[in-house]
Structure 1
Amino acid sequence: MSQHHPVAAEEYRDHRAFVGPDRQLWENNGWSVRGRDDGTDYLLWTSPYLIQGLAGQSYRPGRLALNQTLLITHPAQAPDELVDNDFLAVGWDPDDYRAWDDLDVTIEDDTARWSLGGRTMTAAPPQWRIDGRHAGVETDLALTARSEPQWFTDPQEGLDRRADRWWIANGEVDGVIRTSGGTLTVVGAHGVHERHIHCGLVHDPISLLEGEGIVWFTVTSPELSGYVMARPSRGASWAQFDVDGRTVERAGEGISTATTRTWTDPKTRMVVGQTWHVEVEHDTTRLQLDVQARARAYYSWDFLSQGRTILYWWLCTANVTIEDEQGVRKLAGLPAEAHLNRTYYRRHGAFDG
């Protein structure tokens, strides 16, 4: 089940004071940006996080803030094959962790700001900004929602009634991304925003992300922009697309994701996907996405007490078929992305005796 519902600046109030000493906390405020500039494809993910773990629970004991920046760039005209590329991924290594109090959160009128480690995330829904410099990447980005956020929890239920709060917004991005290698001009790029809060003692990523974990696909063009997210091993899935100015939204039945070709990463030796087939059916609209990875980044979650998860991000292209009341349209070579978070190691106890 999901529903779309507007959000306000109050949704960005952090929960350090709320959890106290007896509950765990994991919360983010992240954006992915996928676009193309003058022959260069790029994929950016950036987010601050707050984490509090307790002894005997699913997170390692302690409090921390962290600032993540992940950036992949790749020639737009390169062959449609996944390669062993260079990438930037800073934030989740324990050496990158920041103090719990380093994150500064302010909410004034209709605007919320999260500032950490040189970067500021500003939310004034339906407008957002990402400014500042972190990990050698300077951002000056303005983001505008293309539709109302899709909620995966009931927006009427607060964290006093349930242990998590989760929604995603689909948007358009303009501005610049600067690195030592040059400047990327961002015009009409695709942005996907995740605001996710776990508060309590029930969140256990090692168990939740076993099997196929969680996968995420996005694609963008003037005619079509949106995302699909799924936990295939648990039979859960969600999708939201803007198709010719109308919103196509789905949860549960009518969504399928399948890996159609794998790749052995020469660095990690993990077998991961490199092509996928995704379908979404809703009323009179059917979308088919054939997604091809072309470059990747990865890192692991090491803050968990009972194991590890591996996270991959792929810069992709997609061939899309749209079937609706206008007929059948085929769009080729669209900017796309894929993301995976799954358990790869579970801690085991010793034998008795």
Structure 2
Amino acid sequence: MARYFSRGQMLRLEPEVRSLVNALCDKLLRSTDGPLDVNTAYSCLTSDTITQYAFGDSTGFVAQPGWEPNYRAPLQTFLDTVYVWKFFPFLLNIIRIAPYIAKYISGDIGLLMREMFEVIPARIQKAIEARERGEAEANIWTDMLESPLLPPEEKTAYRLAGDGFALMFAGTETTASMLTLITYYLLAQPATRQRLEDEIKDMDPRNLSWVALEQKSPYLGAVILEGLRLGHGLSSRAPRVPRDEDLVYRKGGYEYVIPRGTPIGMTSVHVHLNEDIFPDAEKFMPERWLDENGQRRHDLEKYLMAYSRGSRMCQGINFAYCVLYVVTAAMTLRVMPRMSLYKTTEEDVKYDHDLALAQPKRGTTGVWVTIS
């Protein structure tokens, strides 16, 4: 899949992202009849974006009259069970019967199950049939179907639907959560938002360019990096096994050797909230990513673990950055001047516990806003 998420490919996707972002801003500016959960709005956008790209068929959540249905609540319900599957793996046998009962399940779980076992497999099957007729354009699924590295049992619609669901999940919830956290801090810290607005105010808010924003808006980049740092991304302990060497940990007068072959794991939270690397680590301070000349400090970026690092880095990182840049700039210029927080505090976005993705404390209801 990697080449379909390259930077060049994302630049070709950018007009579709821009169109959806403009539609989202227009819809938000019409939403003046009461408080709304901004995470839900962002979830609708990110669902539309990833499904349009991966399947050529958007979920259409932004275009619908309201904000329901969407995948935010179903995906959160899925996250709530992540440790059940981890510590009781025999329960995964339940998945074998899930396709047969999906149509009888209602509510959030029913919506998610129908997407997993009906909608996505149907989209994959459509790609398979188009390929067999010689009508398929090159895309993620045709490449996987033609790959000599995959055996036939890995190329069924049911099997590839698992990859489709992974794309939808990763492309929806993580980016929406990061946008929500960034929005909270820009609204809660007016000086931060004003500095950002002053930097990008001369840009056309309806025709924003990811490349131009990266090149001309170092403070916007700093805001996004700080959002990724405090959002943490995949916060669970990513497992690794050093196969060929012992790992030696040293700090001060302390030394410990981890023998090769030992499974180890570390969460991004340990790095992102490390006071030795990020002083006042709990604070949202975009300035930490800029040097004395206001330019980006690339030396700190090696400590950003929101998308992991190295050979296991998230391959959707360019997709995420494209969306984060365009959405944050458009919201800052078009919507945030008329947006205010509603019964929301820092506790509603601050890291409290891990459910694969970073979670705020239980009982929080999200980031709510009003639009005048």
Structure 2 length normalisation: TM-score?
Answer: 0.27
Which one has the bigger helix percentage?
2
Which one has the bigger strand percentage?
1
Q: Which has the higher contact order (CA 8 A, sep 6+)?
A: 2
Structure 1 length normalisation: TM-score?
Answer: 0.28
> Which has the greater radius of gyration?
2
